[in-house]
Structure 1
Amino acid sequence: MPRNEHISLTPSQVRTFIDEGFVKIENAFSTELAEQGRNELWTDIGLSPDEPEKWVQPVVRVGFKSSPPFIEAANTPQLRKAYDQLVGEGRWLAPKGLGTFPIRFPSPESSGDDGWHVDVSFGTDNPDFMEWRANVKSSRRALLMLFLFSDVGPDDAPTMIRKGSHAIIARELLPYGEAGATLRQLSADGYASTEGCEVELATGAAGTVYLCHPFLVHAAQPHRGLRPRFMAQPPLLPKGEFDPTLRPSPVQVAIRQACGQTF
């Protein structure tokens, strides 16, 4: 089926985002861009797709990438339209690249970074990352995004997503108010409150993007496949703080729906 860069999210997809905390967009960027991105990343890490004997670490990380393939992949017309639909038109900053990239390799060893978590969004000047914070307004983060730069099947270390966990986290953040909670506070019980959530695997062909609510609980897992997994996990940044004079976006509707409050 030909790729249509200008297609909008359907009302059903927007509703799914509100209720389950994410939406999967196939063909969000081209396979050509995905290949260009992979080639750059192979060069960055000094490894080759043709020398698997040198893939000795379970994960190799690459930071922010701002070369043309990554800028273009993050700003396709289809994705920009989706950003408008989920965050609000004119309320987000156009990505100037993508990152970080946890490149996962087939390995029997643990990567040591596969715990359930949410991505906190402010207070990042504190040297203790467990003191970084999130609040119920999701200050400084509009979306969590997963960009698949390689085909990812069930054995290829797909990110695990707990459906609907964003609503539970929203309710847990509510008592902390504007100051928010630290990662240490949020993770004190290992996110036990979300253990009953159904788990979705972030699988798909290269060019697939998952747009996720900032409060979605997710986790890495070991790679049991054959080919490395290339994925970016950037935030989409908001232009400013929550503005109660504007119509609430689906990100905000999900929070309000979870908390039964207006703010």
Structure 2
Amino acid sequence: MPELPEVEVTRLSFASRIAGATILALQMGKPLRWPLGCDTARLNGHTVLEVRRRGKYLLLDTTGGLLLIHLGMSGSLGFGNGLPPPGKHDHFELRTTAGTLRLHDPRRFGAVVYAPAEQDAIAQKLLGRLGVEPLTDAFDAMVFYRALQTRQTAIKQVLLAGELVVGVGNIYASEALFIAGIRPTVRAARLSKPRAARLHAAIRTVLSQAVKKGGSTLKDFSNTMGESGYFQLEAMVYDRAGLPCKVCGTPVRTLRQGQRSTFFCVNCQKP
């Protein structure tokens, strides 16, 4: 599932190219997770202003309103002038004077939703409960620590919930907890201020590195130019069950948390 780094990599791969373009047509294919919410001709003739990101949503600002794009479980975007004819898994196209933006989503768990503005109820229903962005100054270490003190669930689950900080998906939660030396099963409220500070720093480090490496390509992720990510090749524990820890040599263990696989080193990560 594309997480924050993959969505940010996607944004960076086409944001500057589509900015300033005039929208010629919007076309929808088979139904996605949520309805578009407007007539497909609503944005014709309007200008693309910029492409932002909030959590795992891409926000495409135009002079006629906002498009919120979510890649779902297996979605990816393509953008350019020479795209082949749409296939059976291509369910959204935005034709512009700079090229066509296309959503390819075999499982159709993604979505494209129109809202008049980000403050509109439709947009706030999707964005309103998201935590702070981890790669911005708003992600404050002390605020993070204090919020953790109110959570009695396992720290890995707290990170995945996205209410305190967005974008720390399964891969990146496992990696950040390893770097911070924290067992994924420890209750969030048990973390001391120094340990919370290490986790705060680890989250920023892991996500920044993932963006630089183009994200993680486990199955079919690629950016709008068809380029795969390589972060997974440098993972310390993720998907390395049974292999020796890269730090101490102890076999990496795995367990299930909330229907997701968690990877950790019992020696390097303390409860």
Considering the TM-score relative to the shorter chain, is it more than 0.5? Answer: no
TM-score normalised per structure 2: 0.28
Q: Which has the higher strand share?
A: 2
TM-score normalised per structure 1: 0.28
